[in-house]
Amino acid sequence: MAMTNRSNRKNDYYILSTIDELVPQDHEVRRLERAIDWKFIYQEVRHLYSVFGRPSIDPVILFKMILINYTFGINSMRRTCREIEVNLAYRWFLGIGMYEPVPNYSTWSQNYIRRYKDSEIFDTIFRKIIEQAISHGFLDTETIFGDSTHVKASANKRKSTSEEVELTKKKFEDDLLDEINEVRRQNGQKEFDSLRRTEYDFDEETGEVTERVETKTVKQSTTDPESGNFHKGEHEECFAYCLQTICEKNGFVLATYAVPGNVHDSISFYPAYEQVQKQFGSSIKNVCLDSGFKTPAVAREIIENGQTPYLPYKRPMTKDGFFRKYEYIYNHDKNEYRCPQGEILKYTTTNRKGYMEYKSDPEKCKNCPMLGRCTHSRNNQKTVTRHVWADYLDQCEQIRHTPEWKEIYPQRKETIERVFAMSKENHGLRYTRLRGLKKNQHQALIIFSCHNLKKMAKWLG
């Protein structure tokens, strides 16, 4: 059989066909188009357009372009515009004819800057896809799974300054202050006005005394000041954003919330949880979280809402060679601790951080043969602390030993961890090209909208 050689043929074929005929019936864009009616966007953005002037670019086309960008993992909006020019499937999805011009990057960028950057349209798109999944019965919100993942910021880690920033008030501070003062009142101690120590500055020239807000020193990027310095475990230190995300049993993302990379999981948990609680609270029975969320405040929030927290074992943060905290037995009725040698540690005070302090008798401790494994304090006194909301953590530990925990908690790797893995691998969640907290919140909403839409389209198919 003779060898075929097509190298000299000219690609000047005429195609007498429609775009609809050329796009395969099983192509991804067809499933995405069938999954949801995109006309709702017109009503949501109508107030952002004027009734005068020349006709604008169709807003549905603009948002479908960014969906193409993240759904198919194209790492640049400029490249997305070029891909649409030559990809018939993308043109079919956008409703652009073969000879019609494709909106360029500048068009999308200026529309975002002038119209969409301060709008709620990204939240609306995310919510509409969730509502569509609910209408098909795809969601199972009896158990929700939460976690956060970091997204590398578009910032050079070597370009930074040290800044003094004001400590932000935590959501639970007022409730914690009331609880602390109740404990102190029962023990005949003076109540606190605030959880923070009041600091004052004295001006020698005027004699004026001014109250100073409590601050802390942080490493701030000069490239993207709204990002945060992220350093956790084996991860490389970098500037990043963290996305607090909650999904349900089938892997549909219910809420996502972007914060700077230096915000702890137990703090960023509340906005995302409140959003899910508001929409699905009546159907949620179980909340499954990672060890980073195992704090008294988070456990209390979940239990007070009538839900069951499923939290893992957390290794005690005790130095090697010392007794673990669980080896000091707490007597709830007498409100005291007993050390491994049988000596009593009595309650002394409750500090501003919400921890009750229990201290031993130094005279009994100084001759103890186990003193070296108990404390290295100069006065030979051992101090054990217990949070005023520690009872909620004790309930979590009891739940951890139930058969339900052994069934539910391992599902984290099949739900929220899989969501992060797929979004990082396929939808550009590993790093961000955008700068600023609001832009990254919009990006997170679009990425997880694409994740939910692809899953729903697949299930409908």
- Are residues 201 and 305 located together in one domain of the fold? yes
Which residues of 231-340 form beta strands (DSSP E)? 238-248, 253-260, 286-288, 308-310, 329-331, 336-338
- Are residues 360 and 217 located together in one domain of the fold? no
What does the alpha-carbon distance between residue 111 and residue 273 come to, in Å, rounded to a whole number?
32
Q: How confident is the model at residue 56 (pLDDT cuts 50, 70, 90)?
A: confident
What does the alpha-carbon distance between residue 229 and residue 449 come to, in Å, rounded to a whole number?
27
Instruction: Name the DSSP letter for residue 411.
Output: G
pLDDT in tens, 299-318: 999 999 999 999 999 888 88
Token pair 């990204």: residue: 122
Residues with Cβ within 8 Å of residue 288, at least 6 apart in sequence: 143, 144, 145, 146, 310, 408, 409, 411, 412
Examine the fold and report which residue of 391, 408, 425 is the final residue of a domain before the chain moves on. 391
* Assigned domain for 9 exists: no
- Are residues 339 and 405 located together in one domain of the fold? no
- Are residues 409 and 420 located together in one domain of the fold? yes
* Assigned domain for 138 exists: no
pLDDT in tens, 350-370: 999 999 999 999 999 988 989
- Are residues 332 and 411 located together in one domain of the fold? no
Give me the mean pLDDT over the 397-410 stretch: 95
Give me the mean pLDDT over the 411-438 stretch: 93
* Assigned domain for 11 exists: no
- Are residues 40 and 179 located together in one domain of the fold? no
pLDDT in tens, 159-216: 999 988 877 778 888 899 999 999 999 989 999 888 876 665 655 566 565 666 677 8
* Assigned domain for 293 exists: yes
Examine the fold and report which residue of 104, 119, 134 is the final residue of a domain before the chain moves on. 119
* Assigned domain for 221 exists: yes
- Are residues 334 and 308 located together in one domain of the fold? no
- Are residues 173 and 256 located together in one domain of the fold? yes
What does the alpha-carbon distance between residue 323 and residue 198 come to, in Å, rounded to a whole number?
35
- Are residues 173 and 287 located together in one domain of the fold? yes
Residues with Cβ within 8 Å of residue 127, at least 6 apart in sequence: none
pLDDT above 90 (res 406): yes
Mean pLDDT of the chain: 89
* Assigned domain for 320 exists: no
- Are residues 387 and 272 located together in one domain of the fold? no
Share of the chain above pLDDT 70, in %: 94
Number of independent structural domains in the chain? 3
- Are residues 380 and 293 located together in one domain of the fold? no
Domain extent, residue 70, equals 19-119
Give me the mean pLDDT over the 272-283 stretch: 92
- Are residues 184 and 333 located together in one domain of the fold? no
Of 97, 70, 69, 67, whose CA–CA distance to 83 is shortest?
A: 69
